[in-house]
Structures are given as structure tokens and as C-alpha cells.
Amino acid sequence: MSWTPPRQSHRWPISSLLFMALTCLALPGPLAADGGITRAPDGAESVIPETVLPETVAAETVIAQAIVALGGAERWQAIDSMELRGDYSTFSTTYPFRILRQRPNLYRFEHYEADMQVIVAFDGSKAWWHNQLPLFAGVTWPTAPAIPYARGFEADAEFAGWPFLDAAERGHRLTSLGNADLEGIDTRAVEIGLANGSVETWHFDAATSLPVARIARAAWVGREVESRTFFDDYRQVDGVLLPFHLEIERGNLFAEMSVDDAVLNIEIPADSFSFPRPPLLVDLENLVGTWQVISKTRPMPNLPWFESPGMATIEADFDGTILREKLHFLFAGRPRQVHRTYTHDRFTDQLKIVHIDDLTHHPNIFVGAAQQQDGAFVASNVESGTAWGLGGPVMFERQTLNPVGKNHFTMVWEQSPDGEHWLETASFDYRRADGGTSGN
């Protein structure tokens, strides 16, 4: 079932048949004198006759009627996720789009602009995008957008695109703006002050209570502009109404979105909304945590091994694209500290470990293949130019991480005079100390 607002314009052609069909739905009725809702004799809520509406309706009442018109609070509360697919037209081109949404405000929008794919997302706390258009990010990998864009993406991430659905729970403020004529449609206007500080104006059709338009602030070509979104062609999907046609005006951008398919309560992979990380950092994510470390060290090859306890903490930074380690241990009885960062060099597709200790204060760079070798990550300073010596021949160093499990891994240090023949100088056995799950 679909509905088209009664308006004569290029956006919304008259569709009286669909409008009559919509009246069979349970819609909010006109306000009675006592402020309640007038119901039809059979108990069903009736369509609001425009002629009897008061001049001002409380914002909470407008929103309550809109939620009923869209299918009812109970049905919406039963929806946890959705996927929309269809066509997105802009810059005189039309390409497929996909939108993923999950409560409370996880969001991913895949589309094309100027023949280039754009992905924008909100992970529940911050926005990211993969936008190769030179006017925007200017890079070919995912990154954080400028603040005006990020605020707009956060607003777009409200579940189902309706910030009024859970306004009280989400901390949004509602203010009635009274009656308004929106391009020939009689509407009730409500200002919604989002919890993040953004302010939007929503227009609801005075006759049906359905959302007609959203007017907000958004970023366009690096500056803040007014964004106007118009909703049209409402259709039932599992008992709720969704607009299957949207038009967006933002700056000099005009876009149309036509939905072909809408699926509710689908399983969405957990990482769909997360900032993308290279496979290497995903493989190393189990390193994050607090570790008890047993170290075995010796200052010279012919001396006995020294075994002692230590501690390490490893944290993720920059959306999980860098791991930072602080290791405290005894090296042959001497207190030592080591700071390490584990990164993926996207330009050479290599693992890079930057190692600094409190003895040399030397940034030693270890480089290895991004792919594991027999389950181990191996990196050396043979090619980095950071090997050093104390008045004698330079000794190359190598670090091997193996295996990487949720609760246990090992690190082996080796030295070599020629980069080919290696001798073990230290080993570290890491056991999780922060209540991690069972596993390796």
C-alpha cells in the first residue's frame, strides 16, 4: 500500500486512490475539546480533518500522531534493523544505493556521486567516510570527515531517519512551530533539537500526520548550507509505513532516492558500521588488553637465561588502525621499559613495528610482510636502516609474534650479524590478565 501527499507540483502528483486506501489505516483523529483523540464510532482512529484542527497542536501530540500514522510505537519498537536498496540519482547519473540501519543510531549509506562510490557511516559515537571525490577527503582510503559533515551524518543516523521515534529516550527536544504551508501542503511544523546540538524542522501533513519534509543544516563543498528532504510514496513494510521516494536539496545538489526494496529486522555483520581496518590490524586485534609477561633474557649468547615476571598493556588508537604497547620487564636483572607501535603501511602493504626502549631511546623500525608466515608475524630492521652497534659491527634484530590468540601469545627477539643467521636473545610469554575469554 502506498500514499502520495495531495500536492500539485513536480514532486508529488495527486493520487486520490492511494490516499483513500490509506484512510483504512489506524490514523490519529482530531483533538477533542478535552485534548484527547476523537475516535470513529467503531473505535478506530480517524483521519484528521484539516478544517477542525486548532491553530496550535503540542509538539508531543503531533509526534504521537505521526508515529501512529507510520504504524504505531509498538511496531516500530519491534524493529531493530533495516536495509534499503534502490536507485540514487545525482549529478545527472543514476546508480544503486544501499542503506543499513540498526538501533539506536548505527548507519551506513553506500552510493555514488560523480561516478565515484561514496560510503558514509556512523558507528554510534563518531562518523567516518570513504570519499574519493577531490572536493571532500582528497584521499583514497577511509577517514574522518570534517566536523560539519560528521554532525550531519550523526543526524542522518537516527534510526529509520526519524529522530522523533525515540525523542525522549534519545534526549531530543521537541518544540511546536504551529501550522505551516509547505509548498501548498498544510502541515504541522515541529522543531527537533537533537542531543548533539543540531536543530531540524520537521513538517507533518495536517491531514494524515505523515512526515512531509525535513529541513536541517548540512555540509556541502566545505560549507554549511540548508538541506531539505521531501518524503513521498509511502508504502507498508511489515506493518509500518516507509517513504519509497525522497528528494534532497542541499546547496546546488539535487538528488532523488527511489527505494526498490526494504527489509526489516535483518542480521547485519557487526563490523558494517565500524571504521574499516586493514586485515593485518584485524588479525592483531587480540593483542589489545593487559598482560602478565614472563620474560627470558640473556645479555650474551654464552650466558644463562634470566627469567622474570613483567607486565604489558596494549591499546588500540586511531579507530583501531594503530596498536600501542607498553612493556615493563627485567633484562638480565635490569629494569627495562619498551614502547612499541604496530601499524600497517598501506603504501607498501607491510607490517611496521616502531620499537623504543629506555636504554637506547632509539626508534628502531621493524618491517615485515603483512601476511602471516606459518601463523607468525615476522619483522626485522634489516631493510629499515635503523640497526645499530656499540663501536663494533652492526647487529641486526628481528621480532617474531606467534601465535596471536585471545589469551596467549609469544614474542621472540633475535640478533644477527649478517641478516641471515639469527640467534635468540630474549623471549616473552604473554598471558591475559584482564579477564579475557577462553581461547588460546
For the stretch 356-373, pLDDT in tens is 999 989 999 999 998 887
Q: What local confidence, expressed as pLDDT, does residue 42 receive?
A: 38
Query: How does 413-427 read in b/e, with b if 16+ C-beta sit within 10 Å?
Result: bbbbeebeebeebbb
What is the mean pLDDT of the segment spanning 153-166?
Answer: 94
Residue 354 reports pLDDT greater than 80: yes
Residue 6 banded pLDDT, cuts 50, 70, 90: very low
- Predicted confidence at residue 139, as pLDDT, reads 77
Q: Strand, coil or helix: what is 148?
A: helix
Q: Report the pLDDT value the prediction gives residue 31, as an integer from 0 to 100.
A: 32
**How many other β-carbons are positioned within 10 Å of the β-carbon of residue 146?**
12
> Residue 350: is its pLDDT beyond 80?
yes
Higher pLDDT, 11 or 267: 267
The residue behind cell 640497526 is 387
Residue closest to 68 by CA, chosen among 99, 126, 22: 22
Whether residue 84 has pLDDT greater than 70? yes
Which helix (H) or strand (E) covers residue 273, if one does? Answer: none
Give the mean pLDDT of 10-23. 32
**Using one digit for the tens of pLDDT, what is the confidence trace for 22-78?**
233 333 333 333 333 333 333 333 333 443 445 568 999 999 999 999 999 999 999
Cα dihedral 102, 105, 106, 109 sign: positive
Q: What is the DSSP string of 113-124?
A: ETTEEEEEEE-S
The per-residue pLDDT for range 131-152, each reduced to its tens digit, is: 877 555 567 889 888 888 898 8
C-alpha dihedral sign at 123, 125, 126, 127: positive
pLDDT in tens, 371-425: 887 889 999 999 999 998 877 788 999 999 998 889 999 999 999 999 999 999 9
**C-beta atoms surrounding 129 within 10 Å:** 22
CA angle 93, 94, 97 (to 5 degrees): 135
**Domains within the chain, CATH numbers bracketed:** 2-272 (2.50.20.10), 279-432 (2.40.128.20)
d(CA 169, CA 362): 52
Summarised one tens digit per residue, pLDDT across range 163-200 is 999 999 999 999 999 999 998 999 999 999 999 889 99
